[in-house]
Amino acid sequence: MTWKDLKTSSVVNNTQKPDVCAILTSEIFQMYSFHLQDLSDGIIGALTQKMSSEVKQSSQQYADDRKEQEVKMFLEEQSS
């Protein structure tokens, strides 16, 4: 329904005129909600991908450090 239709309907039915701001806000939200959802999904996807990369890198660093520590402990035991 357009603004003109709503206004005419309120005059014909002798009811309160529609709130222009509320109607405009509703129309804008309906028009852009798909784009906002798509943007939100894109942001979440990018953050998830970055976080997965960071976790993978940290896991690899931990594995490397652990191997190094095991070798150091072995060498210390051998020299004792």
pLDDT reported for residue 1: 67
In the chain the first and final C-alpha atoms are separated, in Å, by: 87
Per-residue pLDDT at 48: 94
Which position has the token pair 């976080």?
A: 51
Which residues in the chain land under pLDDT 50? Answer: none
Angle between helices 20-79 and 3-12 (to 10 degrees): 130
Contact call for residues 10 and 17 (beta carbons, < 8 A): yes
Q: Is the pTM of this model over 0.75?
A: no
